[in-house]
Amino acid sequence: MNEATDYNGANSAEVNGYISKKNSERDAQTFYLNTFDKNKLVQAYHNDGVFLVSDFLDASTLNDTINEIHQMEKDAELELKEKWGDEKVFFFSRQNNTKNPNAVDFATTQYFKQSHDKVHVFYEVVESTQEQKEQNTLQRRINRIGHGLHLFPNKYPAIHSTIYKNDFLKQFLQSAGYKRPICHLSVYIPKHGGGVGSRVLPHQENTFANTSPPSCFVLWVALEDATLDNACMWCVPGSHTSPLRLVSKVDHVSHTREMVKIDDTPIPDQEKQPELFSPLQVKAGGAALFHGNLFHSSFVNSSDRSRKAITFQFLETEGVEYTDFNWIKTPNHHYLYSL
């Protein structure tokens, strides 16, 4: 893949055989914690549905967070063996014609549904030899760890403090109109290099964390530099004003899930409409903050570097209805604040 040396982004990058152009007219604006203008920041959010904070985590907190992630990997895999019979749940597979080696929708498994307030590990399959396939010993890598990483102040204090002791985050959410927000979930995604970190098609977070009216907000924190080379996120600035297209509905009785179209407006196609998309290039410790209706995506990570990040979803709980088809059956009550 060809990439620019300019960190702020080249005009284009060759990705998966076609040119993904940078939409320079609608790039996400970047702010700094010590110098930002709150009015400009809120205006950027309302206009674009996304903004970047270059120094969201200081060096010490970033280092502590990375160390906590390493401990989480050990904790999660140990619990998987001791309490779940080492039965691995897969999100993605790089195997041809193999979406999920379990042949079960991950979102309907108890291991997944019980992860909302725990630290559970999920995998993706990488290319395996024919012998490994026949012996059912598929090679696997961690796809993500979730989804209650933020709920352990004693075990993982840096991650907990990033949410519950973060004045900037609370001030912004208040400015954006949130009255009683919760951190709905948190997830660590390593986005491995070498073609392991799977492609994520354009989607909206409100699809998977639904309230009526929609209220999802996302904080995405880079634990490593995210660039064009190692599959940084892309987004469609301004798309947060467009309708929510799909809703993921989980039936907690039949243990099934379906994706339901609620609006016929076409989903932006990154291959056919690359001019709509802008890269979210963020250095380690920086963050992208965006609206739940913003379309965002990422390519397969074909580089030799991972692109580790941790994501937090927030929901409003005041004056909204939490829909009963969310995969998290009941929201938590750990409010960031209550006005």
Kindly write down the DSSP assignment for every residue of 187-237, as one continuous string.
EEE---TTTTS--EEEE-GGGTS-EES---EEEEEESS-B-TTTT-EEE-T
Domains in the chain: how many in total?
A: 1
For residue 89, the domain's CATH number is 2.60.120.620
Q: Give pairs for 139-144: CB < 8 Å, separation 24+.
A: 140/88, 140/90, 141/190, 141/192, 141/196, 142/73, 142/190, 142/192, 143/90, 143/91, 143/92, 143/189, 143/190, 143/198, 144/91, 144/187, 144/188, 144/189, 144/190
Q: Comparing 135 with 250, which gets the higher pLDDT?
A: 250
Instruction: Let me know if residue 280 belongs to a domain.
Output: yes
Quick one: pLDDT at residue 36? 87
Residue 333 lies in a domain: no
Place of tokens 């076609």: 18
> Helices 38-48 and 167-175 meet at what angle, rounded to 10?
60
Within-domain flag for 313: yes
The DSSP call for residue 177 is: T
Look up the pTM and report it: 0.88
59: in domain? yes
The answer to the question of residue 338 being in a domain is no
C-alpha 164/C-alpha 176 separation (Å) is: 17
Alpha helices in 35-156 (DSSP H): 38-48, 59-83, 110-113, 130-134
Domain contains 142: yes
Domain extent for 118: 25-322
pLDDT > 50? residue 8: no
* Cα gap 282→285, rounded to integer Å: 8
Cα four-point dihedral sign 294, 61, 309, 125:
negative
Q: For 291-313, how does the pLDDT look when each residue is reduced to its tens digit (9 = 90+)?
A: 999 999 999 999 999 999 999 99
Distance of alpha carbon 300 from alpha carbon 261, whole angstroms = 26
| 5 falls within a domain | no
Return the pLDDT at 188.
98
Mean pLDDT, the chain, rounded, equals 87
d(CA 245, CA 249) in angstroms, rounded, equals 13
For residue 187, pLDDT beyond 50: yes
Average pLDDT over residues 231-235: 98
Beta strand ranges found along the chain (DSSP E): 12-15, 18-21, 29-31, 50-53, 90-93, 119-125, 140-147, 181-189, 200-203, 211-212, 217-222, 233-235, 246-251, 256-261, 278-280, 287-291, 296-298, 309-316, 321-322
For residue 8, tell me if it sits in a domain.
no
List, for residues 88-140, the tens digit of each pLDDT value.
Answer: 887 754 444 444 444 456 777 889 999 999 999 998 877 654 444 444 445 67
pLDDT at 14 over 80: no
Mean pLDDT throughout 280-299?
98
What's residue 141's pLDDT? 84
Region 221-239 average pLDDT = 98
